[in-house]
A and B are shown apart, each in its own frame.
Chain A
């Protein structure tokens, strides 16, 4: 499914946070969203996922204006993985992943075979199947993140939005999660901080600065010395990695 945003504007009080953003995500594409702190990545993701209403502009998912679609219908197509979540309730891993089936179930519908299959597959996918009975409270930060991605997968979405999904993860799981997102047969938009990971796993990258799109394109065209200097205020060398032939960034300490 494609995602198209047209001239999105959103702000709190008088402060503009997202400024005239237009972008297109092709079906099956993995789009990376990068930018410094406060550049509006999280806010833009929420606008795209329909969790916030833009002040002006519109978002279309598969050609349909999401403002016209009910919350429940939208969440059968779109999943959103938050940056970090917490609860005081004593729930198990499988309880959490089951919540992903919420948009597919009516008020009193029983637990169906299809529900169970989705949940089992999602747990397998993030390598947490053997922990399904474990209490969520006892998981590490990275495990919690994986459980939440599993929950999003159980939602059986066609578009997935992830807000810094690799936070709290060790490098193995960072790569594992991003490879999985890239290889999934769905459209995804991922906000990321790690520029090298963005280069490795995203088909295209959008660079945000002060709420507006600074530059958009393939990792090769976007991740240049000049952009890194102007947007991220770092001096860096960019060359081509011999492993994956994507840009590789080395930062200068000076």
Chain B
């Protein structure tokens, strides 16, 4: 049951915020400590404060470098990616009025994979920067197609979902076509691995870029949170409540597409976070978006950091693709949602 805005809901929200901030800090610390080369939590803490210039403690340079340059940036990017995907999921579930909507419903991940495949297999451009750029371009091409097919995303939720399905099918087919006609076995493996998502190789510049995009998106979406609430009973009902429906839809679809495309181009298409986390967050803080969106961001961040830890410790000496881990956790949760959402009568 939703907590009441005016009657005692604030205390619960504050408690939730504090708790989740602490949990997130611990998750990031553990993510930094755990790996093939284990580092104590104390050393982790000192390395970070050293780098921030707060302390001058003696830490082995190799450990400090691993903590700061490899693992902390990776953990923070994971947190931001989780936050961003969960927010996108919540927004799309509200706009499309569909509990099964998720960030990739607009065809963004399919487009990104086509873009990535163009780079990996066809060799358009070279190096990892252009892989990200290719994925980003592909993602936005897919979004543009969806926007075109659904009249600028203004012709109703089901129309938009169908346009997304069509775009996903088209771009998935293009990806398969390119891989089967031009790729070799190793390239196919690379593509597959990239599609399932990986935080390996992310560094501080990725973090800075993603931080900017996530913060800007969160501010825009929080600004429109009240309008999102008004979509509860559909587009026309929102219009009757004074919401400029067409403009809000277009802006929010644009923001989610930008956010998803940025994340996908950085770490691959990590599924299920955007589907599962909004439902969990709604269960905790209720359906109103001014508190749901921040809650999604925090829960998504924690979920993703923990999933990243799991992906590194499940199999010794190798990293399981992060998308496999999120799906292994996500699918049972999804089954519960389906079971709970079955028709009541």
| Structural contact, A107 and B242, CB atoms closer than 8 A | no
Which B residue sits closest to A95, measured CB to CB?
A: B2
Shortest C-beta distance, A174 to chain B (Å), equals: 22
A76 to B240, CA, bound (A): 10
Residues of B280-313 whose CB lies within 8 A of A: 282, 286-288, 290
Q: Range of interface residues on chain B?
A: 20 to 34
Give the chain B neighbours of A155 by CB distance below 8 A.
Answer: 241
Chain A, residues 69-113, CB within 8 Å of chain B (1/0): the string is 011111110011010011111111011101110110101100100
Residues of B within 8 A of A76 (CB): 242
Answer whether residue A137 sits at the interface, using C-beta atoms and an 8 A cutoff.
yes
Once bound together, how far apart are the Cα atoms of A46 and B236, in whole Å?
Answer: 10
A85→B234 contact, CB < 8 A: yes
B236 and A82 within 8 A (CB): yes
Q: In the complex, what residues of B have CB within 8 A of residue A51's CB?
A: 236, 239-240
Q: Does A129 contact B (CB under 8 A)?
A: no
Is the C-beta of A49 less than 8 angstroms from some C-beta in chain B? yes
Contact among A91, A99, A116 with B241 in the assembled complex (CB-CB below 8 Å): A99
B227: chain A residues within 8 A (beta carbon): 102
Considering the complex, give the chain A residue whose CB is closest to the CB of B282: A90
Is A135 engaged at the interface, CB distance under 8 Å to the other chain?
A: yes
A98 contacts B5, C-beta separation under 8 Å: yes
Contact of A135 among B1, B232, B242 (CB under 8 A): B1
A79 to B240, CA, bound (A): 7
Whole-angstrom distance between the Cβ of B287 and the nearest chain A Cβ: 5
B97, B290, B341: which contacts A87 (Cβ < 8 A)?
Answer: B97
B158 to chain A: closest CB distance in Å? 13
Residues of B218-240 at the interface with A, using a CB-CB cut-off of 8 Å, are 222-227, 229-230, 232-234, 236-237, 239-240
Cα A75 to Cα B230 in complex, Å, equals 12
Least CB distance from A152 to B in Å reads 8
> What is the CA–CA distance of A94 and B3 in the complex, to the nearest angstrom?
11
Tell me the smallest distance from the CB of B310 to a CB of chain A, in Å. 30
With both beta carbons as reference points, the residue of chain B lying nearest to A81 in the complex is identified as: B240
- Complex-state Cα separation, A49 to B236, whole angstroms: 11
Closest to A51 in B: B239
Task: Please give the distance in Å from B74's CB to the nearest CB on chain A.
Answer: 34
Query: Nearest residue in A to B235 (C-beta to C-beta)?
Result: A51
Query: Closest CB of chain B to A223's CB: distance in Å?
Result: 30
> How many angstroms from the CA of A111 to the CA of B226 in the assembled complex?
12
> Nearest-CB distance from A184 to chain B (Å)?
17
Min Cβ gap B236→A in Å is 6
Q: Is A100 within 8 A of B287, CB to CB?
A: no
Q: Which residues of A contact B240 (CB under 8 A)?
A: 49, 51, 75, 79-80, 82
Assuming A102-B229, A111-B6, is B242 touching A88 (CB within 8 A)?
A: no
CB-CB nearest in chain A for B5 = A111
Q: How far is the CA of A80 from the CA of B235 in the complex (A)?
A: 13
Chain A residues 20 to 77 lying within 8 A of chain B, measured CB to CB, are: 46, 49, 51, 70-76
Assess whether B99 is in contact with A99, with CB atoms less than 8 Å apart. no
Asked whether B241 lies within 8 Å of A102 as measured between CB atoms, the reply is yes
Contacts of B286 in A (CB 8 A): 95
Residues of A contacting B241 in the complex (Cβ-Cβ under 8 angstroms): 75, 99-100, 102-103, 155
Nearest-CB residue, chain B, relative to A84 = B233
Q: Is the CB of A91 within 8 A of B232?
A: yes
Q: Quote the shortest CB–CB distance from A116 to chain B (angstroms).
A: 6
Given A76-B242, A85-B237, A99-B232 in contact, is the A107-B226 Cβ separation under 8 Å? yes
* The 5 residue pairs across chains A and B that have the minimum distance between CB atoms: A75-B242, A103-B242, A80-B240, A72-B242, A85-B233
Additional A-B contacts beyond A88-B98, A107-B222, A107-B224 (8; CB < 8 A): A73-B242, A82-B240, A87-B232, A90-B282, A95-B288, A105-B226, A111-B5, A155-B241
Q: Give chain B's interface residues, CB within 8 Å of chain A.
A: 1-2, 4-6, 97-99, 222-227, 229-230, 232-234, 236-237, 239-244, 282, 286-288, 290, 341, 344
Residue ranges of A at the interface with B (Cβ–Cβ < 8 Å)? 46, 49, 51, 70-76, 79-80, 82, 85-92, 94-96, 98-100, 102-103, 105, 107-108, 111, 116, 133, 135, 137, 155
